[in-house]
Amino acid sequence: MARFSSKLPATDKAPHRVLLARQLRELRHCQRLTQQQLAELSGLSTGTISTAESGLLAPSTRTVTDYVLACGELDLSPWLTRREAAAREYAADRAEQKMQQRRALARDDRHRQVWRSTWERWERTRKLTPPSHACGSSSLPFWLEGLRNYRSLSYRALARKSDYSHSTLTAMGRGHQPVTVRGLTAFLQACGVLTFSEQIEWLNLLERTSSSPRRAMDAALEQERLRSLMDPRSGDGRVNSMTCLDAEDTSDWQRGRPAWRMKYAITVDHQVMRNNLQALGRYYGGTFIPVLAHHTGLPAKSIKNYLDGGGLTVDGKNRLAAALMRIGKTPPNRDALHVILPPQAVGRPASGARTQPGGYGRMKGNAPRSSDYVPYWR
């Protein structure tokens, strides 16, 4: 079966190789031969013929000789001369590529020398925070790249642990794209920077070095939010990463709080909501997801999948957002959680909805459908 001849590259990049490839194609077309037929006549493989006609590499002397003789051309000297010119051009390009690789390796070595002292501090303190003297618009991408190298993770490995593609993470890590609060949080979590105190230090660096006032303001607001969630007894956000109310404060929770309106639930930042729910899950432990499932009517497996980075319907996100608003800025202690998120707060079936004993909807045991769900904030 004949192979499709791809388009030749631009002549300004490799003029001698492109010229040789074009003349080889014209010689084969003049003999009305396909690549498969020429392979049978010359003894070359179709892959070798396709490579010789691509203009990307310089074919060997044997390849050019067999190719030209199979096409009926007896004068080999002009073809071998063109082949030598293409080979010299390819050797020069290879030398330039190796020089660029050596420059890149030398640049990485210089960066590693700068990173080494910070890596030693990270090993000693177990706190992955940027240096306090870091400044300049390129300092945040530089230290994010150092963090990634410290963890020995590729950008594709980071993408598998976050909601961002590897190309977006690469652009942020190399300074080709501005770093946002959401992107920085995803990058840090993928690198294992999970404590609030460490994330606050990175957000502080973003606030100090960002050229955008909006991103600087977002970083400052995120720092305040994380400080409000830190446990004052731990001092670094490692223990529980949350604060809780004393036992005498549960009376305020029992009186209830105003519900969150539906329009706010729709416009919430879902990445921030997921981070908050993950922090609450670390604080309350295994009891949080079952209580949240009974309160919202969502399957516990769906909630767990969403907290692990999976997807969720818009109606499900609205229910989780409303539940998070009921918990408020300061979470209650574990004994008061079931009071704040009671199972009775789950949406009830709409009037006239078809239900069966044991669950909502037409299938027994299923969660309520969005058409049967009446949110309590209405």
User: Per residue in 326-360, pLDDT tens?
Assistant: 787 677 777 788 888 888 533 444 334 343 333 33
Higher pLDDT: 328 or 53? It is 53
pLDDT average, residue stretch 187-204: 90
Please check whether the two domains, 15-98 and 127-229, share a CATH topology.
yes
The answer to whether domain 127-229 has CATH 3.40.1000 is no
CA nearest neighbour of 244 among 212, 308, 186, 288:
288
CA–CA separation, 188 vs 219, rounded Å? 14
Q: What does the block give as tokens for 225?
A: 């939010």
Residue 196 in contact with residue 237, Cβ under 8 Å? yes
pLDDT average, residue stretch 161-186: 89
Q: Chain-wide mean pLDDT for the chain?
A: 76
Tell whether the model's pLDDT for residue 263 goes beyond 90.
no
pLDDT at 269: 67
Could you tell me the residue ranges of all domains in the chain? Answer: 15-98, 127-229, 247-374
* Residue pLDDT, tens place only, 57-80: 889 999 999 999 999 888 889 999
* 3-state SS, one letter per residue, for 190-212: HCCCCCHHHHHHHHHHHHHHCCC
CA–CA separation, 41 vs 44, rounded Å? 8
Lowest mean pLDDT among 140-144, 228-232, 304-308: 228-232
CA nearest neighbour of 366 among 310, 320, 301, 318:
301
pLDDT tier at 12, thresholds 50, 70, 90: low
pLDDT tier at 253, thresholds 50, 70, 90: very low
* SS3 label, residue 244: coil
* Residue pLDDT, tens place only, 109-150: 677 778 888 888 998 998 999 988 888 888 899 899 889 988
pTM above 0.75, yes or no: no
pLDDT average, residue stretch 210-214: 86
CA–CA separation, 190 vs 177, rounded Å? 18
pLDDT at 134: 82
Q: What does the block give as tokens for 116?
A: 């080494």
Higher pLDDT: 286 or 244? It is 286
CATH hierarchy code of domain 15-98: 1.10.260.40
State the Cα angle at 277 between 284 and 126, rounded to 5°: 75
Tell whether the model's pLDDT for residue 32 goes beyond 50.
yes
